[in-house]
Amino acid sequence: MTLLDVRNLTVTYAGGAAAVRGVDLRLEAGRKLGLAGESGCGKSTLALALLRLLPAGTRVGGEILLDGEDVLAMKWGRVRAVRWAGASIVFQGAMHSLNPVRRVGDQIAEPVLLHRKATPAGARKKAGELLEHVGLPAARASAYPHELSGGQRQRVMIAMALACDPRLIIADEPTTALDVMIQAQILRLIEQLVAEQDVGLIMISHDLAVLAGTCDRLAVMYAGRVVEEGPAARIYEAARHPYAQALSAAFPRIGDPASRFAPRGLPGDPPDPSALPPGCAFQPRCPVALTSCATEDQPLRAAGPHRRAACVRVTPAADGTAPLRDAPAEDSATPSPTEQDPATHGTAPLRDAPAEDSAAPSPAEQDPANGGRDARDDTPGDSPASRPDPVGAGEPEEARPRNP
Ligand SMILES: Nc1ncnc2c1ncn2[C@@H]1O[C@H](COP(=O)(O)OP(=O)(O)O)[C@@H](O)[C@H]1O
Ligand code: SF4
Ligand SMILES: [Mg+2]
């Protein structure tokens, strides 16, 4: 059975901020899904919603099936049990998540006592074992959080998350506050634990490079929606959605002097979720927006093997490199049948790919002019259900100049 199946999840905070707007996610045990996006795009809100940790007054819609059981329909007693044994969260900034006046061993032992019905001695023993499992001596159980380094505290948080053998671990920016050496150690530790224990992992980060190196698949969020999803390495190397492209270009690549000396940023900020622009939420910042983007929103559509993206310019053509650039007015090139991937068409929710699309596209399959295609280039086979009406179908679209 699928470990986690999130269907059309919506979260609106009491003040009216629509922080998550119809997200589908699917994760199998033993797989690693990365959730990327700038600060404020709804990643943490989504993570908190999965375990019903959002503040009172927040409206949550959709379904969150954990091992087939809807978390949103559970009674509170069941939710509490699920928070440790079903799924657990490793938060960003361990100093704020640990109780500063309690020894870390006691903090790790607490959920074992509560949810595993262990004796105090048994829970202490388990805490020591967990510390060793995450690379700390069991004797550190007697330390207070301030006596540990940032990396050690994050290891303690991971030990706590593992305390009740959860089936799913959600790691929300687990390495953001750490220096790169420690970050690498913590990432390897998380990977190793996922592999050993066959749990599912949702890793949240603004850093696409970190996610590409750790996860099997990636979902890029913008303004509360997934705007692109697919195999992690392919999205990092050749994103199709203009926002995912910008996010990827913002991180310099090792061995690529051009990106190192001139990392590209994206001007502006994500929109306020209580006052979202009409049409595509990325339109005010999009360097390749069409006139119609100001009024027409786009659902996720096939964007290559095992990939989907929510952009009027994306076709289901082969997974190609698509540099961000100003749009030419039109590009009528329609991909040949060999470039199309009928298997990816349709409305399947975000899921782990059965196999990575490891075959690199041949030059002929590549789509360097992706940014120049307009809505009319949508190829046959893109499910009408997933794309009710191609923007500007049958009418020429105007290219807009780049936003200042
Ligand atoms: N408790 C809250 N009440 C109202 N708005 C919130 C609350 N928490 C987060 N938000 C808003 O929801 C949006 C998404 O926030 P968040 O999920 O923290 O994003 P991310 O984790 O991607 O940085 C932001 O605009 C943020 O200001
Ligand atoms: S081209 Fe249009 S639909 Fe695509 S990301 Fe830009 S604004 Fe959104
Ligand atoms: Mg966050």
- For residues 168 and 66, the answer to whether their CB atoms sit within 8 Å is yes
Query: Which residues lie at CB < 5 A from ion ligand 3?
Result: 44
Write phi, then psi, for 260 (nearest 5 degrees).
Answer: -70, -40
Query: Quick one: pLDDT at residue 318?
Result: 54
Write phi, then psi, for 370 (nearest 5 degrees).
Answer: -50, -45
- Report residue 378 CA to chain centroid gap: 26
Query: Quick one: pLDDT at residue 93?
Result: 65
Verify whether ligand 1 is closer than 6 Å to residue 270 (CB atom): no
Query: Quick one: pLDDT at residue 369?
Result: 33
The parts of the chain modelled with pLDDT lower than 70 are 93-95, 251-265, 317-404
> Which ligand sits nearest to residue 390's alpha carbon?
2
The residues spanned by each domain of the chain are: 4-215, 277-404
To test the pocket of ligand 2, the residue of 245, 280, 376 to mutate (highest count of ligand atoms within 8 Å of its CB) is: 280
Query: Quick one: pLDDT at residue 72?
Result: 97
> 205-251: per-residue pLDDT in tens?
988 888 998 999 999 999 999 999 999 999 999 999 999 999 988 76
Ligand 2 binding site (Cβ under 6 Å of any ligand atom) = 242, 280, 282-283, 286, 288-290, 293, 298, 311-313
Query: Quick one: pLDDT at residue 265?
Result: 67
Say which CATH class 4-215 falls into.
Answer: alpha beta
Query: In angstroms, rounded to a whole number, what is the distance separating the alpha carbons of residues 124 and 113?
Result: 9
